Amino acid sequence: MELVIATTNLHKIREFRDMLKGIKHIDVLSLLNFPQYHPAEEVGKTFQEIAHAKALHAMNALQKWVLSDDSGIVVPSLNGAPGIKSRRYAGEDATDAENRQKLLKELAGTKEHERAAYFECCLVLASPNGFVKSSTGTCEGVILTEERGRNGFGYDPLFVKSEYDKTFAELEESTKNRVSHRRKALEKLLVTLESMS
């Protein structure tokens, strides 16, 4: 059966495809399969609220099982920034590189403990028959003082997970997908996804 990942972010789509490849009865689609679809304005003050709004909007418009993802990186010493603004931290149309540069600038001269950070991912699974389930995953680590690695996206070149030496952008994609915030959130929905028919 079809499951629409409610995003046009190619990196997220790729990660979900990899993480869901073991569930043979799920045919993974994304919003790229529906070019006529207009996403709603992002509304909400938390990852949870935004993910919920994304899922319900896409599910109502497409009348299919939908999985939405709202995620970002949280730096407690910056009062939670970039947080829900992670994608547009350096401005509305900022690139990932510009967002990383801004984060490096904000953290310039800080001590190691002030560079503690975590990724958070909130997922919402929704179906046209009224089923809605959400889950959250986090991944704790630290922000480096310079970028390392070419894999992944967003803040991956700056983030080293606790007890790891390599950034998310230096790890094999399959390794990131085993330990990431997205993986942890998805794990809590796997039983439901496996029993979907």
Please identify every residue annotated as catalytic: 70
The interface with ligand IMP within residues 79-138 (CB under 6 A) comprises: 86-87, 96, 99, 119
Q: How many CB atoms lie within 10 A of CB 168?
A: 27
Report the distance separating Cα 57 and Cα 81, nearest Å: 26
Q: How many CB atoms lie within 10 A of CB 97?
A: 11
* DSSP states of 123-151: EEEE-TTS-EEEEEEEEEEEE-SS---SS
The interface with ligand IMP within residues 23-62 (CB under 6 A) comprises: none
170 is a site residue for ligand IMP (CB under 6 A): no
Residue 83 CB, nearest approach to ligand IMP (Å)? 9
According to DSSP, the residues that pair with 120 across neighbouring strands are 72, 138
Q: Which residues contact 9 (CB under 8 A, 6 or more apart)?
A: 153
Applying CB under 6 A, the span of 16-24, 67-75, 141-149, 187-195 interacting with ligand IMP comes to 67-75
Is 73 in a helix, a strand, or coil? strand
Report the distance separating Cα 8 and Cα 13, nearest Å: 7
Nearer to ligand IMP, 64 or 100 (CB): 100
Nearer to ligand IMP, 187 or 194 (CB): 187
Applying CB under 6 A, the span of 19-27, 58-66, 71-79, 106-114 interacting with ligand IMP comes to 71-79
Applying CB under 6 A, the span of 21-29, 70-78, 125-133, 142-150 interacting with ligand IMP comes to 70-78
Residues lying near ligand IMP in the complex (CB under 6 A) are found at: 9, 69-73, 86-87, 96, 99, 119, 152-156, 168, 180, 182
